Amino acid sequence: MKDIYNEVSYKCSKLVTNSYSTSFSLGVSLLHRDFVMPIHAIYGFVRFADEIVDTFHTSNKRELLDRFVKDTHDAINDKISLNPILHSFQDTVNKYNIDIELINTFLRSMEMDLDKNKYNQAGYEEYILGSAEVVGLMCLKIFVEGDEQEYQRLKHDAMKLGSAFQKINFLRDLKADVHTLGRAYFPGFDPNNFNSITKKEIEADIQKDFDAGLRGIKQLPRKARLGVYLAYIYYISLFKKIQNTAPEKVMHTRIRISDSKKYMLFMGSYFKHQFNIIK
């Protein structure tokens, strides 16, 4: 019966992915079947942690997060949890030997969202590391299937890809972060003085991360490459749309890619992957 519980738990994580993110769900669907459910497990875990700090405004967020952190460690150590999201996550962590420090670093970044509203350069880099780069490394652990040499070789570029994705999220979500949550992630960011110069400086930094990320994607195992490449194509398309949008509009509108455009990207990514012309 444990096999049934495992299956149900992973399906719960998949439901979380499908419910929260159309684009991420598409990317996961293009991974080799060996990777699909473990990646859903990671997404479900990080999504629920993020929900605690971003959404549950009428609850005691610190208490909820502290409980979530304890439950996470208990699940990993005990190799079981009655929370199906944490159960599928611990199963993935233990199966792929994901370093507990990656998980702790991620959880510390979630804790930062409880207190910090503005960031200097050091705090910004620490938050990016925890909220995005280590998540990329968790996924990389799955993709290399225990090959530590490959993990170390691809580690830097995987972190940069995660960094690029998160910085794009910051630009996309400026309206909600600034006006609803009262946060400003970019160092020294002044919402009253967000102009084309500041925007281009941020975009130049993101482009460097994207360049490193694409280099890493090209070297991923083929079983993982297509799904990750689709995520890259989606984010680079979102990036270009933001680049072509005036700063004041970025501040007051959530820039998005339409579902029809996402499916066009899906088809284009599949074609490039099949003919080995990823660029």
Question: What is the per-residue pLDDT across 58-74, written as a single tens digit (0 to 9) for each?
Answer: 999 999 999 999 999 99
The residues spanned by each domain of the chain are: 2-274
Q: What share of the chain is helix, strand, coil (3-state, %, to 5)?
A: 80, 0, 20
Structure-block tokens of residue 113: 């969202």
Structure-block tokens of residue 180: 């609803």
Question: What is the per-residue pLDDT across 128-165, written as a single tens digit (0 to 9) for each?
Answer: 999 999 999 999 999 999 999 999 999 999 999 999 99
Pick the CATH number of 2-274 from 3.40.1530.20, 3.40.190.150, 1.10.600.10, 1.10.8.620: 1.10.600.10
pTM of this prediction?
0.92
**219 neighbors 154 (Cβ within 8 angstroms):** yes
**What's the burial of 155, exposed, middle or buried (CB within 10 Å: 0-12/13-18/19+)?**
middle
* Band of pLDDT at residue 271, cut at 50, 70 and 90: low
Question: What is the per-residue pLDDT across 73-119, written as a single tens digit (0 to 9) for each?
Answer: 999 999 999 999 999 999 999 999 999 999 999 999 999 999 888 89
To the nearest 10 degrees (0 to 180), the angle between helices 134-143 and 148-172 is 140
Structure-block tokens of residue 65: 């997060």
Query: Mean pLDDT for the chain?
Result: 93
Phi/psi for 184 (5° steps) reads: -140, 105
CA distances from 117 to 10, 38, 114, 249, 264 (A): 34, 33, 8, 22, 37
